[in-house]
Structure 1
Amino acid sequence: MLHVRCSTRVCHVVPCVTMTSPYFMHSRSVITRSGAQNAASSLRSKLTDRRSNVDPVCSVAVKVKVEEEEEEARIVAQRPSSAPLSTGGCQPKTGTLPLCAHSRRKRQVKVEYEKDEGVTPVKTEHWEPPDWKKQLGYIREMRSGRDAPVDNMGAKKCYDPEAAAHVRRFQVLVSLMLSSQTKDQVTAAAMQKLRAHGCTVEHILTTDDEALGKLIYPVGFWRTKVRYLKLTSAMLQNEFAGDIPDSVEGLVRLPGVGPKMAHLAMDIAWDQVSGIGVDTHVHRISNRLGWLKEPSKNPEETRKALEEWLPRELWSESNWLLVGFGQQVCLPVSPLCSVCLNQYSCPSAHKISPTKRPEAGSPRSPKPKTEPEQESTVKRERTKKEPLPTPVPPTAQRRRLKK
């Protein structure tokens, strides 16, 4: 369609495009490329007028529709014509389709992460000693007699089996507290005297410190343990109704109770395996057999290192196995490596163990060798302490010679 505008001087033909959108059918206005912006602004003003007449109750739904209409009008006004303009007509291309509602929906974006080909995943390998199963089997064979002191006088044998359940658990805890820095024979004798006196929370609190000290003497650090027994008994009576706690966290809160005692008390008193009870024997043997990645300095470090690789079903058995083995074969000083079945696989076998320094004054105590400088200082000290002889005058010496 062609519209001809004539004036007195210039006549020109302006090609136009007829819009097929329903928003422009009623006006049939002519929109040129130069006047597209004016048409868009007039359409926007009409839409705003229509928005002002909408009921405020349904303004939310109308607002969404109006925004979609504005967006469609803006796209139509700014989009260039897909078909070339010709003088024969201005009809749009028949292959073009109007904008649909579903084409304006937001598409879901699928996020994919690129895999780093150069970075290899870190693999955590489970470390364990090379010959630990064979070594543990040999220790079981050497401990098959069950004749070590821990088998007959340990914490499992020190409580009264006929007492009430809470009393038995308290006696297990007391025997573990007394066993620190003490041999099992001494601990068992002290527990016999305590049980005859009455080893309950009430009897411990009513017994004075002097009498309690005589009952547990000669256990190691018996004065300190008397104080711990009194404080622990008072805490059990006030907070736990006379029974011992059923968790490691509660047991280590008691005065004089450490991690080793707590794990053993959970195993013996409550029949719950919470950890490995590591004492001086387990600590020493684990380092000698090479059951640790690095040598440990204290029993607590040894416990954490053993629990990383030793199967949980062996935690309860490992304590009494290694304790009895340390009491009979793998001694602290001069271990019996010649009779040990692990002498060919143990990295510490047939090595000189650190000798125990004899007590001062004993026949085996070596006498210290004095150096020349030390001997001179000793002589000087002796001359200072001893009185010097009085000088004799020469006349008296002559008289003695004449006589």
Structure 2
Amino acid sequence: MRADIVAPVDTMGCATLADPTASARDQRFQTLVALMLSSQTKDVVTAAAMGRLREEVPGVCEEDRVDSGFNLESILALPAPRLNELIAKVGFHNVKTAYILRTAAILRDEHDSDIPATIVGLTSLPGVGPKMAYLCLSAAWGRDEGIGVDVHVHRITNRWGWNRTKGPEETRKALEGWLPRDKWNEINHLLVGFGQTICAPVRPRCGECGLAEKGLCPSAKVVKGKSSVVKKE
């Protein structure tokens, strides 16, 4: 069912927004910034902000090298008002501007200008909580040490009766207690997309849900018919 639906996270999720032509180190930094921008912000807005950063952030020339475009060095060289302008459409952009600049300085001073490869290191950065850290560790370093639980994952797993939890962090611990580790990476992406397109917080589209049709969702409303969904081509 999910494989037939194109959701915003599939094309504009944070794991897709780093410049594939950039160095591995710069891609990791861009992934972290994308996640920091994404908090309480729709994927399309986050993607647009990342596009502006890639297009507008100038390179940095140093004595022994030239860095082109959007990376840690160029962000550190960017005046705060200009960074704030470039990300102005994301939620809480003033706070995020400060977080990004403080994070870049910490990475330069304490992490050899790269992002940490541990949950402890990532969550020590300004504005980075467990959800963001687990997603970043997976996307940037290919390490699945926990499940990134956002509002979609929390809502849907509670609707399905997989857990009875009050918040995302409690949901994460509950899911990790029984879900096979090799599924940890994909569950966020699958359920976020499902929540964006079908299992919405208000007026879920149960008529388009195969689980509801088969009687597998205990929270499903009466299914009176199906309407179209966006298909992959």
TM-score by length of 1: 0.51
1:311 aligns with 2:188: no
Find the aligned partners of 1:286 and 1:145 in 2 and give their Cα distance.
20
Deviation digits for residues 220-248 of structure 1 (CA, Å, limit 9, x no counterpart): 01000000001000000001111000111
Find the aligned partners of 1:332 and 1:180 in 2 and give their Cα distance.
17
Match among 185, 190, 196 for residue 44 of structure 2: 185
Find the aligned partners of 1:262 and 1:337 in 2 and give their Cα distance.
32
Shift >6 Å, 4+ stretches: none
> 1:388 maps to what in 2?
none
Find the aligned partners of 2:16 and 2:185 in 1 and give their Cα distance.
16
Letter paired with 2:53: L
The Cα shift of 1:210 comes to 1.2
Letter paired with 2:113: G
Counting only pairs closer than 5 Å after superposition, residues 7-22 of structure 1 correspond to structure 2 as none
Find the aligned partners of 1:234 and 1:300 in 2 and give their Cα distance.
28
> 2:16 maps to what in 1?
157
Counting only pairs closer than 5 Å after superposition, residues 273-284 of structure 1 correspond to structure 2 as 273-284=144-155
The Cα shift of 1:146 comes to 4.9
Find the aligned partners of 1:216 and 1:209 in 2 and give their Cα distance.
11
Letter paired with 1:203: S
The Cα shift of 1:162 comes to 0.9
Which structure is richer in relative contact order (CA contacts within 8 A, separation 6 or more)?
2
Find the aligned partners of 2:182 and 2:196 in 1 and give their Cα distance.
23
> 1:347 maps to what in 2?
218
1:210 aligns with 2:70: no
Letter paired with 2:19: D
> 2:125 maps to what in 1?
254
* SS of equivalent residue, structure 2 residue 177: helix
Between Structure 1 and Structure 2, the one with more helix by share is: 2
Counting only pairs closer than 5 Å after superposition, residues 229-244 of structure 1 correspond to structure 2 as 229-244=100-115
1:326 aligns with 2:195: yes
Find the aligned partners of 1:233 and 1:263 in 2 and give their Cα distance.
19
Letter paired with 2:200: L
> 1:269 maps to what in 2?
140
Letter paired with 1:268: A
Deviation digits for residues 356-402 of structure 1 (CA, Å, limit 9, x no counterpart): xxxxxxxxxxxxxxxxxxxxxxxxxxxxxxxxxxxxxxxxxxxxxxx
Deviation digits for residues 276-313 of structure 1 (CA, Å, limit 9, x no counterpart): 01011001101100011xx2111111100100011111
The Cα shift of 1:347 comes to 1.4
Find the aligned partners of 1:345 and 1:312 in 2 and give their Cα distance.
24
The Cα shift of 1:199 comes to 2.1
1:172 aligns with 2:31: yes
Deviation digits for residues 334-360 of structure 1 (CA, Å, limit 9, x no counterpart): 001122111112111118xxxxxxxxx
Deviation digits for residues 178-214 of structure 1 (CA, Å, limit 9, x no counterpart): 0100000000000001111132111111111211111
Gaps of 5+ in 2: 58-68, 223-233
Superposed CA RMSD in Å reads 1.0
Counting only pairs closer than 5 Å after superposition, residues 1-400 of structure 1 correspond to structure 2 as 142-196=1-55, 197=57, 198-292=69-163, 295-343=164-212, 344-350=215-221
Letter paired with 1:321: L
Letter paired with 2:2: R
Gaps of 5+ in 1: 1-141, 352-403
Find the aligned partners of 2:70 and 2:103 in 1 and give their Cα distance.
13
TM-score by length of 2: 0.87
Find the aligned partners of 2:23 and 2:207 in 1 and give their Cα distance.
47
Q: Percent identity?
A: 55
- How many residue pairs get matched? 208
Find the aligned partners of 2:5 and 2:75 in 1 and give their Cα distance.
33
